């Protein structure tokens, strides 16, 4: 499919319900701001190995694994005192794993590689039951999905957990994004994890711990008001390529709103549309009202320089829908101890 055809398809298609890990400079920024650590040390990575088994290392069909007897899960009704989680307002996308969503590995293990190819160096594995985030990456191989060598590949970020944490609890990050095959087109080796939705408006601490697709799925485009400290003094960088509209599609989303900037900057970012409210001064304490799922996301175009794969228009759209677009704000004060100012 040509680039022009992909964009045309996206502009004629209504996408339901609907920071990036970047090469070199953004990886360094993430380490400074978010305190991320690499998954596998360089001296632990084996050299290229001839591939003699398909992805994943388990048999292609989970039902063929010895001794495995699938047991249907029995839904449990909640206790009378336990509220039922609200239904997401946006459903998962057909045929595409949304960036910022979480999936669980359903086979014995799947190899992780540095590029979407069975010839690429193996960087590690994920085991049955582990959770991974479908990630954003703008390095040479671009976004997923990528079909190569008979498999469907996505960039993923390891979460180092098998169960979703409670909302409001900080979740761990890993600084490295790797590629994982999620199936062969006929079979899938992962399952989606349901979004953790809540009643009412979240506070900033809750939004920080939600994954990007959870915010889109749970809140749609409804207005939300949160409070925090704005800014990321000293942050910066350049990402080459075509990103339109730049204010919404650029991966350099550095207008962070922080709960406690002394402890951690971001990772929640604000986006300011041209012709809207002015960008506030750094270190401002804000009460911000805004929304996800901005309608202008359907026009987003993302073409990283030197990318070897075209970006799926649906993925471009979802990347932009995750942005929190500011409608209005009130300055409540100034954080005199704001770092990097």
- Where do the domains of the chain lie, and which CATH numbers do they carry? 196-334 (2.40.50)
Q: Is residue 118 scored above 90 in pLDDT? A: yes
User: Does the predicted TM-score (pTM) go above 0.75?
Assistant: no
Q: Please identify which residue in the block is written with the tokens 């001064």.
A: 281
pLDDT at residue 59 in the model: 38
Q: In whole angstroms, how far apart are CA 30 and each of 21, 33, 218?
A: 8, 5, 26
Which pair of tokens denotes residue 164?
A: 């979703």
pLDDT at residue 139 in the model: 59
Cα gap 290→303, rounded to integer Å: 27
| Residue range 42-70: mean pLDDT, rounded | 36
Determine contact, residues 230/286, Cβ cutoff 8 Å. Answer: yes
| Residue range 83-112: mean pLDDT, rounded | 82
pLDDT at residue 53 in the model: 39
* Weakest mean pLDDT among 39-53, 84-98, 242-256, 264-278: 39-53
pLDDT at residue 32 in the model: 36
| Residue range 252-262: mean pLDDT, rounded | 88
Q: Is the dihedral of CA 301, 220, 185, 160 positive or negative?
A: positive
pLDDT at residue 315 in the model: 85
Q: Is the dihedral of CA 236, 242, 246, 251 positive or negative?
A: negative
| Residue range 307-319: mean pLDDT, rounded | 82
pLDDT at residue 142 in the model: 65
pLDDT in tens, 134-187: 987 765 566 778 899 999 999 999 988 899 888 866 655 556 789 999 999 889
pLDDT at residue 136 in the model: 78
| Residue range 112-120: mean pLDDT, rounded | 93
pLDDT at residue 181 in the model: 95
Beta strands in the chain (DSSP E): 102-105, 109-113, 122-127, 131-134, 146-148, 151-158, 178-183, 190-192, 224-230, 241-244, 257-258, 270-271, 284-291, 301-304, 324-334
| Residue range 246-254: mean pLDDT, rounded | 85
Cα gap 138→219, rounded to integer Å: 27
Please report which confidence band the pLDDT of residue 111 belongs to, taking 50, 70 and 90 as the band edges.
very high
Higher pLDDT, 235 or 335: 335
Which pair of tokens denotes residue 64?
A: 């063929």
Q: What does pLDDT average to over the chain?
A: 75
Please report which confidence band the pLDDT of residue 69 belongs to, taking 50, 70 and 90 as the band edges.
very low
Please report which confidence band the pLDDT of residue 325 belongs to, taking 50, 70 and 90 as the band edges.
very high
pLDDT in tens, 174-231: 567 899 999 998 899 999 999 999 988 899 999 998 999 999 999 999 999 999 999 9
pLDDT at residue 88 in the model: 76
pLDDT in tens, 260-280: 998 888 889 999 999 999 999
Higher pLDDT, 7 or 183: 183
Q: Is residue 338 scored above 80 in pLDDT? A: yes
* Weakest mean pLDDT among 66-80, 196-210, 245-259: 66-80
- Among 161, 160, 157, which Cα is nearest to 175's? 157
């Amino acid at each position: 499919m040509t680039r022009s055809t992909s964009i045309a398809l996206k502009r004629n298609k209504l996408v339901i319900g609907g920071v990036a890990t970047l090469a070199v400079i953004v990886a360094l920024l993430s380490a400074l701001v978010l305190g991320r650590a690499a998954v596998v040390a360089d001296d632990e990575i084996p050299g290229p190995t001839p591939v003699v088994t398909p992805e994943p290392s388990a048999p292609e069909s989970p039902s063929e694994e010895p001794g495995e007897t699938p047991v249907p899960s029995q839904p449990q009704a909640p206790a009378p005192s336990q509220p039922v989680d609200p239904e997401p307002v946006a459903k998962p996308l057909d045929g595409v794993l949304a960036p910022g969503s979480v999936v669980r590995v359903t086979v014995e293990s799947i190899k992780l590689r540095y590029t979407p190819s069975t010839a690429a160096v193996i960087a590690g594995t994920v085991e049955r039951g582990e959770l991974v985030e479908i990630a954003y990456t703008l390095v040479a191989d671009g976004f997923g999905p990528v079909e190569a060598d008979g498999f469907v590949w996505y960039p993923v970020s390891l979460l180092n957990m098998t169960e979703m944490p409670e909302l409001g609890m900080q979740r761990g990050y890993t600084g490295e994004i790797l590629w994982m095959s999620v199936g062969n087109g006929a079979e899938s080796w992962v399952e989606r994890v349901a979004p953790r939705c809540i009643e009412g408006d979240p506070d900033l601490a809750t939004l920080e711990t939600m994954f990007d697709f959870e915010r889109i799925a749970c809140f749609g485009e409804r207005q939300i008001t949160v409070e925090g400290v704005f800014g990321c003094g000293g942050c910066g960088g350049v990402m080459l390529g075509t990103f339109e509209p730049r204010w919404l599609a650029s991966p350099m989303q550095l207008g962070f709103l922080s709960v406690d900037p002394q402890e951690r900057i971001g990772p929640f970012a604000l986006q300011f549309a041209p012709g809207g409210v002015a960008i506030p001064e750094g270190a401002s304490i804000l009460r911000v009202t805004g929304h996800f799922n901005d309608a202008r996301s359907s026009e987003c175009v993302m073409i990283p320089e030197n990318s070897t794969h075209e970006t799926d228009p649906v993925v471009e759209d979802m990347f932009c829908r995750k942005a929190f677009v500011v409608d209005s704000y009130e300055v409540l004060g100034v954080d005199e101890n704001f770092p990097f100012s």
